[in-house]
Amino acid sequence: MHVQPFPGPGGKRQISDAGGMQPRWRRDGKALFYVAADGKLMSVSIETTPDGQTFKASPPTELFATRILEISGPNRQQYAVSPDGQRSC
């Protein structure tokens, strides 16, 4: 999985070596959540500078197993992250 600035400029940054689906940003932009291929909810901490020139992503951290294994449509969203990033539903 990769991320890139929007709107640009800037290149893609790798977040996950093993892919992922259904990415969600924490409201403050300091974490990205996604579902791994094995159905586990993962979290990546993100650090940036105010000018956007520096971007650091932590290694993915497993949060918990889900029952999500596939997306049944291109825009299907099967979970949501609370504004503080402490819960998902």
One-letter identity of residue 21? M
pLDDT of residue 12: 87
pLDDT of residue 72: 57
pLDDT of residue 58: 95
Residues of the chain with confidence (pLDDT) below 50 = none
**1 CB contacts (<8 Å, ≥6 apart)?**
14, 15, 16, 19, 20, 23, 34
Q: Where are the domains of the chain?
A: 2-65
